[in-house]
Amino acid sequence: MLAYAKSDIGMVRKTNEDNYVFLPPRLFAVADGMGGHVAGEIASKLAADTIREYVAAHNQVDCSETVIKEAIQQANWTIFQIAQSKPEYTGMGTTVSAVIVDGPDIFWAHVGDSRIYLLHDRQLKQLTDDHSLVGDLVRNGNITPEEALTHPHRNILTRAVGTNEDIQIDTGTALWEPGDMLLLCTDGLTNMVSDGDICQLLLRAGEGREVLDQLVREANAAGGLDNITGILLQNGES
């Protein structure tokens, strides 16, 4: 497996509130923080650090799907407690999209509107659902995916890590084969670059680092309105 990560501040924001976990060949995650002042950056870093430490401490547990879910639950509790104890951090939270890779098996867990994509057989599939207002509208057929890209409320989350004591976490499994790719990314990419364009860039993929660089360049060329973070995994060298 080949693995690459990149985070970019974008063209508008003054700080980067994204964080990520990059521990090849097993654990990967992206987190996009939210909150006033530096609270978003703190929330996403707390999530990344907590997930990294929890998975390392429970590395021998058989069920990877359980481990990654419990890691996010622990991150939720940690962020929520700090937000409750410091008024300036009230309401802070973060998205989390995380995977544990175990040979051909992918175990994923997800909260928020960051995304996990699988490229298989030249088709790009989004494994995760966006926990956002526009995500609900798209799933209910009220707006199209294209309309979601410019919807005025596209940044409103319906679920985030750390904003409530209890949290609902989506989990799932997938298989990947030699030649497949897995992309974890924050909405700084997906709000600027369409799924179709992401797919075409991945299909033309050469060296993974250059692919991530090109994705970031495309997002910035479209306005770069948010921080942009991506992790690209390539199954083999095909």
* Three-state SS at 112: coil
Largest CA distance in the chain: 51
Among 112, 116, 80, 113, smallest CA distance to 98 is for: 116
Mean pLDDT on 191-214: 91
What is the β-pairing status of strands 123-126 and 115-120?
antiparallel
| Cα three-residue angle 94-95-98, rounded to 5 degrees | 125
Q: State the average pLDDT for the chain.
A: 93
133 or 220: whose pLDDT is higher? 220
CA distance 220 to 202: 18
Q: How many domains does the chain have?
A: 1
How high is the pLDDT of residue 238?
A: 43
CA distance 233 to 24: 9
Centre a 10 Å sphere on the Cβ of residue 120 and count the other Cβ atoms it contains.
17
What is the β-pairing status of strands 27-34 and 228-234?
unpaired
CA distance 77 to 185: 23
Mean pLDDT on 112-131: 97
Residue-wise pLDDT tens digits, 76-119: 999 999 999 988 898 899 999 999 999 999 999 999 999 999 99
Residue 129: pLDDT band with limits 50, 70, 90? very high
154 or 137: whose pLDDT is higher? 137
How high is the pLDDT of residue 38?
A: 76
- Write down the pTM of the prediction: 0.94
Residue-wise pLDDT tens digits, 141-188: 888 887 877 787 777 899 999 999 999 999 999 999 999 999 999 999
Low-confidence winner among 63-67, 150-154, 180-184, 233-237 (lowest mean pLDDT): 150-154
The end-to-end CA distance of the chain, in Å, is 10
Written in H, E and C, the secondary structure of 193-216 is CCHHHHHHHHHCCCCHHHHHHHHH
| CATH code of the domain containing 103 | 3.60.40.10
Instruction: Print the domain residue range for 87.
Output: 2-234
